[in-house]
Amino acid sequence: AQSVTQLGSHVSVSEGALVLLRCNYSSSVPPYLFWYVQYPNQGLQLLLKYTSAATLVKGINGFEAEFKKSETSFHLTKPSAHMSDAAEYFCAVSGRDSSYKLIFGSGTRLLVRP
């Protein structure tokens, strides 16, 4: 069975500092991996995805993530945090069964201090 673990339910950074949100996955087959962002009372917006092409994936708003098979990790980074990055971030895995349903982590709330 697939699962996702996001380390740290809350991460606080200063504006302009590096953002690092951690995600580890468990999957018996090479997975597809995704990061989504959710602003209060809104749906989820896709930030980036890994589908077995390049291991370093660039997404929207300056975010990127690196797939490391040996560490079963897919951490999300951004070199310089902006106040508008404050939101909830979810890592998700999709197996390669016929459904491609998403299994989500419990989320990390990013706080950006001025």
Partner 1 sequence: DTGVSQDPRHKITKRGQNVTFRCDPISEHNRLYWYRQTLGQGPEFLTYFQNEAQLEKSRLLSDRFSAERPKGSFSTLEIQRTEQGDSAMYLCASSLWGTSYEQYFGPGTRLTVT
Q: Which among 84, 95, 85, 97 is positioned nearest to 34, based on CA atoms? A: 95
Residue 27 found at the interface with partner 1 (CB under 8 A): no
CB of 12 or CB of 106, closer to partner 1? 106
Q: What binding mask, one character per residue, do residues 46-75 give for partner 1 by CB under 8 A, x or -? A: x--x-x------------------------
How far is it, in rounded angstroms, from Cα 58 to Cα 46?
Answer: 12
Tokens of 39: 């602003």
The yes or no reply on residue 94 touching partner 1 (CB under 8 A) is yes
Which of 110, 47, 108 lies closest to 81, judged by CA?
110
User: In angstroms, rounded to a whole number, what is the distance separating the alpha carbons of residues 108 and 26?
Assistant: 18
When binding is defined by CB under 8 A, the residue of 28, 70, 84, 99 that contacts partner 1 is 99
Side-chain half-sphere CA neighbours of 32 within 13 A: 13
Q: Does 42 bind partner 1 (CB under 8 A)?
A: yes
Among 65, 92, 93, 110, binds partner 1 (CB under 8 A): 92
Which residues are at the interface with partner 1 (CB under 8 A)? Answer: 4, 9, 32, 34, 36, 41-46, 49, 51, 90, 92, 94, 98-107
